[in-house]
Amino acid sequence: MINIAIIGYGFRGKVLSTHLLNMNENVRISAIVDNRKEEIRNELAESANEICFYDTVDELLNREKPDGIIISTRCSSHTLIAIKVLEKRIPFILEKPVSTNLQDLLALKSAYERSGTEVAIPFSLRLNTLGQAAKEIAESGKLGTIEHVQAINNVSYGSVYYQHWYRDEKETGGLFLQKATHDFDMIQYILKQKPTWISAAKSKQIFKGNKPAGLKCEACEEQATCPESAVLHRRRGEAVHGEMCCFAEDTGNEDSGSAIIQYESGMHASYSQNFFARNKAATRMFRFLGYKGTMEFDYYTNRIQVYMHHTNRIETYEIPFGNDTHGGGDIAVCQSLLDTITKGLPSQTPMEQGMQSALLCLKANKSAETRTFQEIKWTD
């Protein structure tokens, strides 16, 4: 049997562990660490009888040695837990962001380099069907050497970052770490260049206000008219991303941000993200420009278009969506962990890439807060 332990059995823990169970009949969930033990036992019903429940990570690691681990706790705890697992040299999936501050990131880097353990980061943009196809086209030489990148992420479900626990900046580390970490990784995946400098700006123009701290939509006098009202969305049968007021005085996180990244060759990438765009304004679009051609793709359409610069030809690729909510990316990261456990293969999304992306995001935050260019190096 392949014994998998889950540290943090929330939404992501459930998703990833379910994929593992479906992918290999020899996988079993042997242990869970979560402070909602009784609730999870009831949810899992009879299958919970085969699972050991622990109150702490230390208790789990001292009593068992699973074949693999999923770390899917809240963001601010990722580093501390990962360091403990690295010391046991057990391969694991670590949810992003790998760290929410530079001090944690440096500690994680040191522990990882001492351990030599394989870690898989769920970077779904590079792992899913569209990301893999884009990589193949970029490496074909069709575009020439890529000399410029433009990327935009307009998040149509952005209210989750103001109505759910994500609203706490101490947990998220800000929205570069929550969303741009994927996009920065995708750019890195295609370019294969070292980033050297970053300049960034961020704004909070919409999701701010003077509503009381802790206010929930159901207690608000504007519950029937506010465009972000959970009560209103539920009444319409629409998705609800949280219950808290987006316009309360305790709402954290910026609601838009942009960055310019320079790379070792001298070329640069521009990136912008927004969290109040809705419906058809949603996009997660990348443009990679070489002298020969431009490749454009969007994760909302799963279509790639290649515009040849010196002919009138436009090539269009319709890429099938993968079989999970992240276009196949979640299944791919689970397969990577299984391949490490059963075959000794290296991770498809190694810790180095997770740390590099987190470093870029942290430097973007610092650039925006200090209004300075930030060098991409492992120091303050």
Domains, the chain, ranges and CATH?
2-123+328-346 (3.40.50.720)
Q: What is the DSSP string of 89-156?
A: T--EEEPSPS-SSHHHHHHHHHHHHHH---EE---HHHHSHHHHHHHHHHHTTTT-SEEEEEEEEE-T
Determine the pLDDT at residue 61.
98
Predicted structure pTM score: 0.95
Q: Which two tokens stand for residue 326?
A: 């992240």
Residue 49 above 90 pLDDT?
Answer: no
- The gap from C-alpha 49 to its chain's centroid, in whole angstroms, comes to 32
The β-bridge partners of 208 are none
Work out the percent of the chain whose per-residue pLDDT is above 90: 96
Report how far Cα 41 is from the mean position of its chain's Cα atoms: 28
pLDDT of residue 47: 85
> For residue 45, is pLDDT > 90?
no
Round the average pLDDT of the chain to a whole number and report it. Answer: 96
Alpha carbon distances (Å) from 356 to 52, 66, 93, 193, 196: 35, 28, 17, 12, 11
| Token code pair at residue 295 | 């490749």
Average pLDDT, integer, range 29-48: 92
pLDDT of residue 48: 85
CA distance 309 to 304: 16
Nearest partner of 154 among 263, 282, 20, 265, judged by Cα: 282
d(CA 174, CA 167): 9
Predicted confidence at residue 324, as pLDDT, reads 86
200 DSSP β-pair partners: 259
**pLDDT band at 232; cut points 50, 70, 90:** very high
pLDDT above 80 for 380: no
pLDDT in tens, 158-177: 999 999 999 999 999 999 99
Cβ–Cβ < 8 Å for 81, 73: yes
User: Residue 325 has what pLDDT?
Assistant: 85
What is the predicted pLDDT for the residue at 323? 87
Residue 352 — pLDDT band, cuts 50, 70, 90?
very high
Mean pLDDT, residues 236-265 taken together: 96
Contact at 8 Å (CB) between 340 and 118? yes
Pairing of strands 68-71, 92-94: parallel
Do residues 92 and 6 lie in contact, with contact meaning Cβ atoms separated by under 8 Å? no
Residue 155: name the closest of 182, 131, 128, 123 by CA.
182
| H helix and E strand count, the chain | 14, 15
Instruction: Please report, for residues 10, 195, 222, the alpha-carbon distance to residue 243 in angstroms, rounded to integers and kept in the order given.
Output: 17, 39, 13
DSSP 345: P
* pLDDT tens, residue by residue, 70-115: 999 999 999 999 999 999 999 999 999 999 999 999 999 999 999 9
pLDDT digits (tens, 9 = 90+) for 137-153: 999 999 999 999 999 99
By 3-state DSSP, what share of the chain in percent is helix, strand and coil, each rounded to 5?
40, 25, 35
pLDDT digits (tens, 9 = 90+) for 289-338: 999 999 999 999 999 999 999 999 999 999 999 888 898 999 999 999 99
